[in-house]
Structure 1
Amino acid sequence: MTVPGWVWLVTVVVILGLLAFDYFFHIRKAHVPTLPEAAKWSAIYVGFAIVFGVLVWIFGGAQMGGEYFAGYITEKALSVDNLFVFLVIIASFRVPREDQQKVLLFGIVFALIARTLFILLGAALINSFSWIFYLFGIILLLTAGNLLRPEGEGDEEEANNFIVRLAKKVLPTTEHFDGDKLSTMVDGKRVLTPMLLVMVAIGGTDILFALDSIPAIYGLTQNVFIVFTATAFSLMGLRQLYFLLDGLLDRLIYLSYGLAAILGFIGVKLFLHALHENTLPFINGGEHVDVIEITTGLSLTVIIGVLVVTVIASLMSKAGKAQNAINNARRHAESYLDLTYTSDPGERERIYQLLLNEEQHILTMDRKYREKAKDVDKIREKVAAAHEAHKSYLSQ
């Protein structure tokens, strides 16, 4: 179905309007969003996406509407996975909590720009070379396999990527933030703050994310309007979702397996579609191959089914509960060690008591699940450092 130009224009204006609203009414004044605020706005943006999908279904038909919702759900799931990396980057640079919203909004805008360029490039390649579906399928299958790999020690180095290292060498930078400013004055000289480096790190990872997400959604639909809108609306509200899920993301221990299953499924679908549209001379003499075509309805069912099973399995898992408790202990330990800014003994004792309570909770859990938790040795070191700091404080 051809989408009229005025529909494109209205859609783009609405998306830009939402981004502008986000900036002028939420980001300009640095603050830490409360849980109710993050939950409310996350729900509002999801509501916008659903209403838009219903309109697509009504005016574009069931096929087009189904493709939109399949694409939106897939891209939203991938964007939640991306939040894990954002967490690592923001934590590595120690971005002040009240300034994290600006970093995230920049990441969303940059991701939207990067994905738009990849969408246009993908559309041009599809129109010119039908064999590109084979390449897209390979990319998704490789990505699915990568998600199944055990996490390595290099995960903590996400923030120190090549672009950031180059920027540090070439440009004068300071180790300290100055609010949400990108540059500041040090000894009479203008230097860059870590805020700019954080944005560079997130921008670089956004490009890598686009290499996975765009082939995934093109595996569900070749309608450029649906690809663009599903991608754009999946990014809307990602900032609020970050603060809503912060502290809970680690609980979704099976999310990578679910995403691997979804990307693998879409990769197979792409291969089947490529065989159906085949023009490569060394495959069936350049003629199409009679294979089954996976319908949009089946795709939507598989995607929703896999995500539901993944989330329920993660929340019910004893390993997931242990991981969540251990990460809570890590957060309390880090908060205690960062209490150098306060001399209030009540606040110090409150944080330390939270750490003690979480440790007692962890000891009630099965040992095998405690020992298998991610980064458990590093977390133990931080907890031990917090105990030592508390002893030192009491001895003063």
Structure 2
Amino acid sequence: MDSILSFFDDTEHVLYTIFGAVIIIFLIFDLGFFNKDAKKVSLKSATYQSIFWIVISVAFGYLIYEFYGGTVLMLEFFSAYVAEYALSVDNIFVILLILRYFKVEETYYHKILFWGVLGAIVFRAIFIFLGAFLVAEFHWILYIFGAFLVYSGVKIFFQKEEDDLDPEKNVIIKFARKYLNITKGNFSGKFVIKRGKMILFTPLFLVILLVESTDLIFAVDSIPAVFAITQNEFILYTSNIFAILGLRAKFFILAGIIDKFYLLQKGLSFILIFIGAKMLLEFVHIHINTLVSFSVIFSTLLLSILLSLLIPQRNKSLKDLV
């Protein structure tokens, strides 16, 4: 009993408990009650869900401010949250291409993204806590992260939007097609079916593999990016997961209009370069405070969206890529 009471005497433990409860409730209600049957998610529903997760994230940020670390850690939380939220837009773009490449019915989008988010919750935890351990043991690794982010940002800036996605070149897909029994047809949204004694995998299983591997690839950019903002594991993980939880709702909002925000790629590349430079400047003892970081990340995201809407696009749209 005393150990339980001492556990809840620690504010971080209490906040972790609240965070865990939110995740568990989300998983139970989302798949167990609200979306038991496959159906297309409406724009109205996606908007409500997106607002819900933003409100929950803001409320959690307030709890951090009030009970955990005051203004500094609250700003770190929101900076990391906005950074991940912004960088996940590229993830949405690629996921949409994958779904269209495999001609997945829209009624199954929700199910695929649900399991994609669930996988992200697990893999992001591994990435973040492993990264935190490495940074604590080898602080110089932050400078490697910084250089990598600058490189990634420059690469993304000059990357052509019309570059085609070819899932068949993915190593995991090649492995799956070679060693697993892959069927044709979606089989009512199932990932695995059984025929006699044989276990067969459907194309939707391949889609899940691609979505998960895509998230891992994007995590290679986004996880080092948030380490430039904070090295607090609690802030790192909770901000990252709250942003990921809002990813699915954001997907359904942006799916039909994401090609209109064509300057987001440039904005995201600038964010990566800025965060990488922030890391590298620490080497010469130049520190950019959290408020400045938050302002730059948020304003860059907002500006790239506004300019995308104000300046007509001359390039081909997403629909032309698939």
TM-score if structure 1 supplies the norm length? 0.74
- Residue 373 of structure 1 is matched in structure 2 by 316
Matched letter for residue 146 of structure 1: K
- Residue 268 of structure 1 is matched in structure 2 by 277
- Residue 146 of structure 1 is matched in structure 2 by 155
CA distance in 2, matches of 1:57, 1:191: 50
* 1:31 maps to 2:25: no
Q: How far off its partner does 1:186 sit?
A: 6.3
CA deviation digits over 1:197-238, x for unaligned, max 9? 111111111111111111000100111111011001001132
CA distance in 1, matches of 2:77, 2:194: 48
Which of 197, 200, 206 is the equivalent residue of 1:197? 206
CA distance in 1, matches of 2:118, 2:124: 10
Which of 273, 288, 302 is the equivalent residue of 1:308? 302
Q: How far off its partner does 1:4 sit?
A: 3.2
Which of 186, 192, 205 is the equivalent residue of 1:177? 186
Equivalent residue of 1:148, what SS? helix
Which of 94, 97, 100 is the equivalent residue of 2:103? 94
Between the two structures, name the one with larger relative contact order (CA 8 Å, sep ≥ 6).
2
Identity rate of aligned residues, in percent?
Answer: 34
CA deviation digits over 1:69-127, x for unaligned, max 9? 11101100111221001001111111111111110111111112111101111110111
Structure 2 residues without counterparts, runs of 5 or longer: 1-9
Which of 125, 130, 135 is the equivalent residue of 1:126? 135
Matched letter for residue 318 of structure 1: P
CA distance in 2, matches of 1:36, 1:375: 22
Whether the 8 Å contact between 2:259 and 2:318 is mirrored in structure 1 is no
Equivalent residue of 1:94, what SS? coil
Whether the 8 Å contact between 1:114 and 1:210 is mirrored in structure 2 is no
Which of 24, 49, 57 is the equivalent residue of 1:41? 49
Whether the 8 Å contact between 1:111 and 1:210 is mirrored in structure 2 is no
Q: 1:72 to 1:152 in 2, by over 3 A?
A: closer
Q: 1:213 to 1:150 in 2, by over 3 A?
A: closer
Whether the 8 Å contact between 1:35 and 1:244 is mirrored in structure 2 is yes
Which of 241, 260, 265 is the equivalent residue of 1:232? 241
Matched letter for residue 300 of structure 1: F
Whether the 8 Å contact between 1:160 and 1:201 is mirrored in structure 2 is no
Whether the 8 Å contact between 2:79 and 2:290 is mirrored in structure 1 is yes
CA deviation digits over 1:117-157, x for unaligned, max 9? 01111110111011011111012112101211232765321
CA distance in 2, matches of 1:375, 1:246: 10
- Residue 295 of structure 1 is matched in structure 2 by 289
Whether the 8 Å contact between 2:167 and 2:173 is mirrored in structure 1 is no
Equivalent residue of 1:177, what SS? coil
CA distance in 1, matches of 2:294, 2:34: 34
CA distance in 1, matches of 2:280, 2:106: 44
- Residue 4 of structure 2 is matched in structure 1 by none
Matched letter for residue 299 of structure 1: S
* 1:13 maps to 2:21: yes
Whether the 8 Å contact between 2:146 and 2:276 is mirrored in structure 1 is yes
Matched letter for residue 215 of structure 1: P
Q: 1:318 to 1:124 in 2, by over 3 A?
A: same
Matched letter for residue 175 of structure 2: L
- Residue 54 of structure 1 is matched in structure 2 by 62
CA distance in 1, matches of 2:188, 2:166: 24
- Residue 80 of structure 2 is matched in structure 1 by 71
CA distance in 2, matches of 1:302, 1:152: 24
Whether the 8 Å contact between 2:153 and 2:268 is mirrored in structure 1 is yes
Whether the 8 Å contact between 1:159 and 1:201 is mirrored in structure 2 is no
Q: How far off its partner does 1:374 sit?
A: 4.7
Q: How far off its partner does 1:37 sit?
A: 1.0
Q: How far off its partner does 1:3 sit?
A: 5.1
Q: 1:56 to 1:266 in 2, by over 3 A?
A: same
Matched letter for residue 43 of structure 2: L
Equivalent residue of 2:295, what SS? helix
Bigger CA radius of gyration: 1
Whether the 8 Å contact between 1:182 and 1:194 is mirrored in structure 2 is yes
Q: How far off its partner does 1:247 sit?
A: 1.1
Whether the 8 Å contact between 1:88 and 1:159 is mirrored in structure 2 is no
> How is 1:241-280 mapped onto 2 (pairs within 5 angstroms)?
241-273=250-282, 275=283
Equivalent residue of 1:191, what SS? strand
Q: How far off its partner does 1:6 sit?
A: 3.2
Cα RMSD of the aligned pairs, angstroms, is: 2.1
Q: How far off its partner does 1:183 sit?
A: 2.4
